[in-house]
Chain A
Amino acid sequence: MNTDERPKIEINDITKVYELGKEQFYALGGVSLTLADNEFVTVVGPSGCGKSTMMNILAGLDEPTSGTARVDGKLVKGPSPERGVIFQQYALFPWLTVRKNVEFGLKTARVSAAERHERAEHFIEMVGLTQFADALPKMLSGGMKQRCAIARAYAMNPSILLMDEPFGALDALTRVKMQEHLLHTWEQEKRTVMFITHDVDEAAFLANRVVVMAARPGRIQKIVNVDLPYPRTEEMRLSREFADLRNEIWHAVYHQSPKSDRTDAITANQESEKS
């Protein structure tokens, strides 16, 4: 099949410019990236590198200033249930139970009640929340809330999952458990995943490929391939190989070439021209 040849996601020379008074701020300064079907890619970088902006553009919640984002060859125009999004703040509807949250999108899509229940049941079980299916979000811990959000995204049967620092608000222990849980879920039901994080460890542990981004302007600094096989285990996390990988990513994130001088110079020039 030639569908395997075509990339699942194509980001082509995207820029996103914000006007801050007289200054122009490049949240993204020409980013290109492709993701293959069922690939798990993590994006890591300092704050302000535009990683969330890139994800929002892919989600259809934001528009690029120039460039294109394509999914299955089709231009992204607005949000679609085919691209599931997991937000850092969980974004569960607090007045709905776990089950009703998971069914929300299905109800919107007018899926029959019987199928809705069945699908919700399945994904609630997959994330291990069966016991809490009828609980309100306020009864759940942070990790459970995020698992509910993952079930809700999965219920729409998206081919892509976009995750914006989903475990960023969790404590370190819960985060590790959630990473293992997410991989476990993903191995059961593979999807193309773009996972945004600022945690180098997390980026390395989850991904096929780690995309390191840099700020001012937001751009891709380096792409690191992770050759460890799935399922990923605790031994891998503690292995020599993993440590080397983490070092490599760490250096790419924290010792970025001072390319920013150039853009600062650009904005400085523009300002002097204007004044």
Chain B
Amino acid sequence: MSVDAPPVTPTIAPLTRRKDPRQQTQRILNVVTLFLGVGIWWALSATGINLPSPPEVLAAAVKLAADGTLWNDMLASLTRVLTGFALGTALAIPVGFVMGWYAWARGLLEPWVQFFRTIPPLAIIPLAIVLMGIGEQPKIFVIFLAAFLSCVISTFQGVVQVDRTLINAARVLGAKDGTIFAKVVVPASTPFILVGMRVGLGSAWATVVAAELIAAQEGLGYRMQQAQIYYQLPTIFVGLIVIGILGLIMDRALLLVEKKLTGWQERR
């Protein structure tokens, strides 16, 4: 049996990724703007405005790092964020799936999710402190709530938008509900879940600092609060910059995971 050559000659995008010159200029501009920003900051602080200069902030950072305070604070804040975020998404993903898959679950749960979503997590803090004291619990709870709410919504939307045709295609290939769920619904909603996780991480991070501002013995938010009382502007700057950098690193890490897991998507 001879098989003819395929009658349709395919043209596809090159598989290997070449260095995009435009991307390189972007990189260069990114670095340039970094120096530019620090330069403007330095210039402003030199004009006599009440701003600490970059070397002052650097000195404060070195001092805080040397005596271990900075690492302790980072560890404390990161532990809270990651615990709350992990618990929040771990619950959000199954709840989101159930809401998307079963109409009855949607009917029961969606009003509550939508209601709590409209309350800023920060507004829960007073209640959480009254009910759970000033230990780790209320802080982690508030972060958990923030991460849960943003992740549950997008997981649920991810399941709802799964292409009907894909489900039908799986059915005619002999797949039953369990297989369809695991092999079609889960992968098809992964992009949505990851977007939800990124948003959840953002709000978890935003919430932790606020929670620490109110009641804590350590943490980046607490340190800034203390610095405010003693008028230590450089320390406040160190706190802000470290929070920014940590948030950025975590977001990039999730973006990397997203690229790995959802590279199959057709982007228009």
A: residues with CB less than 8 A from B are 59-61, 78-81, 83-85, 87, 89, 91-96, 104-105, 108-109, 125-129, 132, 135-141, 143-144, 147, 152, 156, 174, 177-178, 180-181, 184, 188
Of all chain A residues, the one with the shortest Cβ separation from B186 is A95
Bound complex: CA A78 to CA B166 (Å) = 16
The answer to whether A108 touches B179, judged by C-beta atoms less than 8 angstroms apart, is yes
The answer to whether A128 touches B7, judged by C-beta atoms less than 8 angstroms apart, is yes
Give min CB distance, A61 to chain B, whole Å.
6
Bound complex: CA A79 to CA B171 (Å) = 6
Chain B residues in 8 Å Cβ range of A91: 163, 165-166, 168-169
B: residues with CB less than 8 A from A are 1, 3-8, 10-13, 15, 163, 165-166, 168-175, 179, 183-184, 187-188, 190, 262-266
The answer to whether B3 touches A125, judged by C-beta atoms less than 8 angstroms apart, is yes
The answer to whether A174 touches B266, judged by C-beta atoms less than 8 angstroms apart, is no
The answer to whether B172 touches A129, judged by C-beta atoms less than 8 angstroms apart, is no
Give min CB distance, A120 to chain B, whole Å.
13
What are 24 residue pairs bridging A and B, where the CB atoms are less than 8 Å apart in the complex? A59-B172, A60-B172, A61-B168, A61-B172, A79-B174, A83-B172, A84-B172, A85-B172, A91-B165, A93-B183, A94-B265, A95-B262, A105-B173, A105-B174, A108-B179, A128-B6, A129-B6, A138-B265, A138-B266, A139-B12, A140-B12, A141-B12, A144-B8, A147-B8
* CB within 8 Å for A81 and B172 given contacts A94-B264, A139-B15: yes
The answer to whether A181 touches B7, judged by C-beta atoms less than 8 angstroms apart, is yes
Give min CB distance, A271 to chain B, whole Å.
32
Closest 4 CB pairs of A and B: A128-B6, A105-B173, A91-B169, A81-B174
How many inter-chain residue pairs (CB < 8 Å) link A and B?
108
Give min CB distance, A139 to chain B, whole Å.
5
Chain B residues in 8 Å Cβ range of A188: 1
Bound complex: CA A251 to CA B214 (Å) = 80
Chain A residues in 8 Å Cβ range of B263: 136
The answer to whether B12 touches A87, judged by C-beta atoms less than 8 angstroms apart, is no
Chain A residues in 8 Å Cβ range of B169: 85, 87, 91-93
The answer to whether B266 touches A127, judged by C-beta atoms less than 8 angstroms apart, is no
Bound complex: CA A94 to CA B268 (Å) = 14
Chain B residues in 8 Å Cβ range of A96: 264
Out of B6, B170, B173, B187, which one reaches A95, CB within 8 Å? B187
Give min CB distance, B132 to chain A, whole Å.
42
Chain A residues in 8 Å Cβ range of B11: 141
Give min CB distance, A9 to chain B, whole Å.
16
Bound complex: CA A109 to CA B262 (Å) = 26
Bound complex: CA A181 to CA B168 (Å) = 25
Bound complex: CA A111 to CA B187 (Å) = 22
The answer to whether A143 touches B171, judged by C-beta atoms less than 8 angstroms apart, is no
* CB within 8 Å for A127 and B171 given contacts A87-B165, A95-B264, A108-B179: no
Give min CB distance, B194 to chain A, whole Å.
13
Bound complex: CA A177 to CA B8 (Å) = 7
With most chain A CB atoms within 10 A of its CB, the pick from B4, B165, B173 is B173
Of all chain A residues, the one with the shortest Cβ separation from B1 is A188
Given A61-B172, A89-B165, A126-B3: 4 more A-B contacts, CB < 8 Å: A87-B169, A93-B184, A95-B187, A138-B266
* CB within 8 Å for A108 and B174 given contacts A128-B6, A174-B8, A177-B8: yes
Give min CB distance, B139 to chain A, whole Å.
37
Chain B residues in 8 Å Cβ range of A136: 263-264
Bound complex: CA A220 to CA B160 (Å) = 37
Bound complex: CA A178 to CA B6 (Å) = 10
Give min CB distance, B58 to chain A, whole Å.
46
Chain B residues in 8 Å Cβ range of A89: 163, 165
Bound complex: CA A129 to CA B172 (Å) = 22
Give min CB distance, A183 to chain B, whole Å.
11
The answer to whether B6 touches A181, judged by C-beta atoms less than 8 angstroms apart, is yes
Of all chain A residues, the one with the shortest Cβ separation from B180 is A108
Bound complex: CA A124 to CA B13 (Å) = 20
The answer to whether B5 touches A94, judged by C-beta atoms less than 8 angstroms apart, is no
Chain A residues in 8 Å Cβ range of B262: 95
